[in-house]
Structure 1
Amino acid sequence: MPSPQLFGRLVDDQSRCEHWHGPLDVIALRFKCCNKYYACHQCHQELESHTPIRYSITEKSVPLIACGVCRLEMSFADYSRTLQCPKCSSQFNPGCKLHYDMYFIKVEAPV
């Protein structure tokens, strides 16, 4: 299976972009609206002319995240389990959880 192509204002080949380029900023997220992996929400906004569409956080089996180091595609559950790539063991930025609402819609439990 070919490695996913990563988009954005990339500054290196591990998915770091001009907005997020710390040592742990090595993931890309697949946007539902265009089915492309972008380094970050800002890159998507700057390079696409359409409105982003967020995934439901319940879409657990869909590959939504790609490791920028080895390009492993993983589900949200796989990504969030340890914040580490299950294939190459690269650590992911734990601060990304502060931006989940830019990428995912949380589904509230019925009352």
Structure 2
Amino acid sequence: MEIFGKPIDAQTRCVHYATEHDVVAIKFVCCERFYPCHLCHEQTADHAAQQWPADRQGEQAILCGVCQQTLSISTYLGVSACPHCSAEFNEGCRLHRHLYFEEARLSAVAPSIV
């Protein structure tokens, strides 16, 4: 699997995020390429990043750098470690998920209180 951007090792760590737990690459919906992080995409892609639509969370868009298996977005968002190899993921990445994934929108308007 080719990882674009600025990876520094075979487990998808990059120049921006290189802790023991920074072992995922994310396929960007805008170009269908895996990057280690949003900064790698920003610095090396020739276009702006787009978020994965909320209705496409079943897509295999996460790559575990340890075992090289892919995960769906919904699976990734619900775990703290790879379900295939148990490699722990960086919990701090949750702070950036809005950069990669569109949040599910409420489909109904909340009832008003009378």
The count of corresponding residues between Structure 1 and Structure 2 is: 108
Structure 2 residue runs of 5 or longer lacking an equivalent are 110-114
Match of 2:112 in 1: none
The CA deviation string for residues 16-68 of structure 1, in whole angstroms up to 9 with x for no partner, is 00000001000000001110010000000111111111102332210111001
| Identity within the alignment, % | 36
Measure, in 2, the Cα distance between the counterparts of 1:86 and 1:48.
Answer: 30
State the Cα distance separating 1:107 from its structure 2 match: 2.6
Structure 1 residue runs of 5 or longer lacking an equivalent are none
Contact 1:57–1:76, Cα closer than 8 Å, also in 2: no
Query: Structure 1-normalised TM-score?
Result: 0.91
Measure, in 1, the Cα distance between the counterparts of 2:79 and 2:105.
Answer: 23
Q: Determine whether 1:66 maps to 2:66.
A: no
Query: Structure 2-normalised TM-score?
Result: 0.88
- Give runs of ≥4 in structure 1 deviating > 2 Å: none
Q: CA RMSD in A?
A: 1.1
Contact 1:9–1:18, Cα closer than 8 Å, also in 2: yes
Match of 2:99 in 1: 102
